[in-house]
């Protein structure tokens, strides 16, 4: 998103062509479940989380994600409030899943 804004530059630290990060607050809350961004992995173009489903067993769950900020992402659908997701090791589970789908070759 391109935004043009005015900023005080009395000390001269800002120069043309520089980038900045800003937050644009909204009044409308976004419904969803907030999870660490590292819990969401991309599998074949689909945002996915892993949900524990027994000892050392995990269910692959496609999700629809929304805004991401400060290392957290809003899951808009595919996950219910209170469900546990893998927050550390999701990338490793993805790797194991993809390796197992390749077969023995």
Which pLDDT tens digit goes with each residue over 18-40?
Answer: 877 777 777 777 789 999 999 99
pLDDT one-digit tens code per residue, 90-103:
888 888 887 787 76
Helix (H) or strand (E) holding 65: strand 64-69
Domains detected in the chain: 33-102 (2.40.420.20)
Instruction: Decide if 28 contacts 10 (C-beta within 8 A).
Output: no
pLDDT at site 9: 86
For residues 47-55, average pLDDT: 90
Q: 0.75 exceeded by the pTM?
A: no
More confident residue, 104 or 41: 41
């Amino acid at each position: 998103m391109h935004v043009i804004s005015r900023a005080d530059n009395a000390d001269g630290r800002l120069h043309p062509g520089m980038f900045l990060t800003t937050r644009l607050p909204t009044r409308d809350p976004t419904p969803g479940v907030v999870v660490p961004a590292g819990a969401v992995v991309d599998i074949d173009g689909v945002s996915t989380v892993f949900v524990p489903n027994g000892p050392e067993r995990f269910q692959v769950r496609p999700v629809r994600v929304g805004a991401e900020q400060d290392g957290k992402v809003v899951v808009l659908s595919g996950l219910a409030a209170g469900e546990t997701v893998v927050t550390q090791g999701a990338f490793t589970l993805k790797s194991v899943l993809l390796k197992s789908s390749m077969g023995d070759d």
